[in-house]
């Protein structure tokens, strides 16, 4: 099958589509003379969650059948392509802080009763070893008097990070240099009449003209949008806000359990707050701290990534929660306020990677909150499905899309 002419079309230029393109171009059977690889992206590379995620990589992530492979591939790619410089790859410490937040200087009116915080599923992990009230001395960007306890969740041998936007765009660039083509256009239809896939129709981003690309293989990697293109894919989505703050602090990823004071309120805002909040923070080597807040289902997924609505007051909430336990972050400039949608598998678990029962149509989606971590394994496995007819590097039977379709 690898010796035949192939038109491989990847739908979606997020981290999953771009790592798929990268690993396809690195597969030993890839021959640019007969194998055409095209990424079709509706708006811009990494315009969804892949450009707005935290970027934490962890050996203690899930699912266990692909995590070690992906973690290792991240390290290998960073070594091969100078990922430390190019996409901020580095090993980090990771811990969880239990803290009592302080009131902010001047509050607005705290209206109504706060709702329970909707956690990103990333924190559904075993708590680590509790060290006690003493937090590591390098974690000096938190106010000591606010901290009740600190639990270690990972160390630099088990935890690392990348800048997701830089990593995804680098994967796209490296795939392009090796022969892949990137087209900006929104896929409007997949043709899989007859014995398998035949083509992909898209609307060109600039001209708005409709075109059809012939396809022998389609990799559907459109994250939360996957079910809009292929309704049989059981993919849902949920929104999450995040901020990027200018602060050059020690290399830690920090999960939190913050109890807010009873009368906590944010200057100039009239908003309710839950009693306990759980923002996550990742210090980055570029002198910033990324922090994300809770998930919400207030606004359905829009047609394209550029139409995602960011409710800046939710970003302000995140900053206020951080400020309640960190004077350093309180006095730092907020550089970015943003929102994106997490792709979820309707029945839970995820991701789903592999065949659909339609010849030539593969799914690689539903990566929940570990899509950055699991991107490399997904891309590698996609390349094996395409050129070798099945997964070779990991047993991914439990992630077979046909189990949930």
Ligand X SMILES: Cc1cc2nc3c(=O)[nH]c(=O)nc-3n(C[C@H](O)[C@H](O)[C@H](O)COP(=O)(O)OP(=O)(O)OC[C@H]3O[C@@H](n4cnc5c(N)ncnc54)[C@H](O)[C@@H]3O)c2cc1C
> What residue ranges bind ligand X (CB under 6 A)?
11-17, 40-43, 47-50, 53-56, 186-187, 221-225, 229, 240, 242, 292, 305, 340, 342-343, 365, 367-373
- Positive or negative, the CA dihedral 208, 210, 213, 219 is positive
Choice between 150 and 230, CB closer to ligand X: 230
The nearest distance, CB 351 to ligand X, in angstroms, is 8
The least CB distance from residue 273 to ligand X, in Å, is 19
CB of 15 to ligand X, least distance (A): 5
What is the rounded distance in angstroms from the CA atom of residue 402 to the CA atom of residue 33?
33
218 or 265: CB nearest ligand X: 218
Q: Are 181 and 38 in contact (CB under 8 A)?
A: yes
- Integer Cα distance of 158 and 155 in angstroms: 6
Contact 68, 76 (CB under 8 A): no
Q: At 362, list the tokens.
A: 């593969």
Tokens of 105: 């200087």
134 vs 297 by CB, closer to ligand X: 297
Q: How far is the CB of 85 from ligand X (least distance, A)?
A: 20
Closest CA to 217 of 247, 248, 196, 241: 196
Q: How far is the CB of 331 from ligand X (least distance, A)?
A: 24
Closest approach of ligand X to the CB of residue 373, in Å: 4
Q: Which two three-digit tokens encode residue 125?
A: 């992990």
* Alpha-carbon gap, residue 326 to 146, rounded angstroms: 8
> Cα(336)–Cα(401) distance, rounded to whole angstroms?
36
Nearer to ligand X among residue 182 and residue 329 (C-beta): 182
Nearest CA to 219 among 25, 367, 60, 17? 17
**Please, which residue, 26 or 119, has the CB nearer to ligand X?**
119
Q: In whole angstroms, how close is the CB of 339 to ligand X at the nearest point?
A: 8
Nearer to ligand X among residue 16 and residue 283 (C-beta):
16
Distance CA 281, CA 81 (A): 26
3-class DSSP assignment, residue 330: helix
């Amino acid at each position: 099958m690898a010796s035949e002419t192939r038109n491989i079309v990847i739908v979606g230029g997020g981290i999953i589509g771009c790592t798929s393109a990268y690993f396809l171009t690195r597969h030993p059977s890839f021959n640019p003379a007969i194998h055409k690889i095209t990424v079709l992206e509706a708006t811009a590379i990494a315009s969804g969650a892949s450009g707005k995620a935290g970027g934490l990589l962890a050996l203690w992530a899930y699912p266990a059948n692909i995590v070690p492979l992906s973690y290792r591939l991240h390290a290998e790619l960073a070594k091969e392509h100078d990922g430390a410089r190019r996409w901020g790859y580095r090993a980090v410490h990771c811990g969880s802080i239990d803290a009592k937040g302080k009131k902010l200087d001047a509050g607005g009116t705290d209206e109504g009763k706060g709702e329970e915080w909707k956690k990103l599923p990333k924190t559904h992990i075993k708590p680590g070893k509790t060290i006690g009230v003493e937090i590591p001395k390098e974690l000096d960007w938190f106010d000591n008097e606010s901290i009740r306890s600190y639990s270690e969740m990972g160390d630099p041998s088990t935890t690392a990070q990348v800048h997701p936007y830089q990593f995804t765009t680098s994967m796209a660039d490296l795939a392009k240099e090796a022969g892949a083509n990137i087209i900006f256009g929104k896929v409007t239809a997949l043709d899989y009449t007859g014995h398998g896939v035949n083509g992909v129709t898209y609307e060109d981003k600039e001209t708005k003209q409709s075109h059809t690309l012939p396809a022998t293989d389609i990799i559907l990697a459109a994250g939360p949008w996957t079910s809009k293109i292929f309704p049989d894919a059981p993919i849902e989505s949920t929104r999450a806000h995040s901020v990027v703050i200018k602060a050059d602090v020690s290399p830690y990823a920090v999960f939190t359990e913050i109890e807010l004071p009873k009368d906590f309120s944010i200057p100039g805002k009239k908003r309710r707050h839950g009693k306990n909040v759980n923002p996550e923070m990742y210090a980055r080597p570029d002198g910033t701290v990324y922090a994300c807040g809770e998930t919400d289902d207030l606004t359905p997924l829009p047609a394209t990534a550029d139409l995602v609505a960011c409710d800046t007051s939710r970003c302000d909430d995140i900053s206020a929660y951080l400020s309640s336990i960190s004077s350093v972050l309180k006095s730092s400039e907020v550089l970015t306020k943003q929102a994106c949608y997490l792709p979820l598998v309707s029945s839970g678990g995820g991701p789903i990677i592999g065949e659909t029962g339609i010849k030539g149509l593969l799914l690689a989606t539903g990566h929940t909150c570990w899509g950055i971590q699991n991107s490399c394994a997904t891309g590698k496995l996609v390349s094996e499905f395409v050129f070798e007819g099945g997964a070779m590097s990991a047993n991914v039977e439990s992630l077979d899309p046909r189990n949930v379709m």
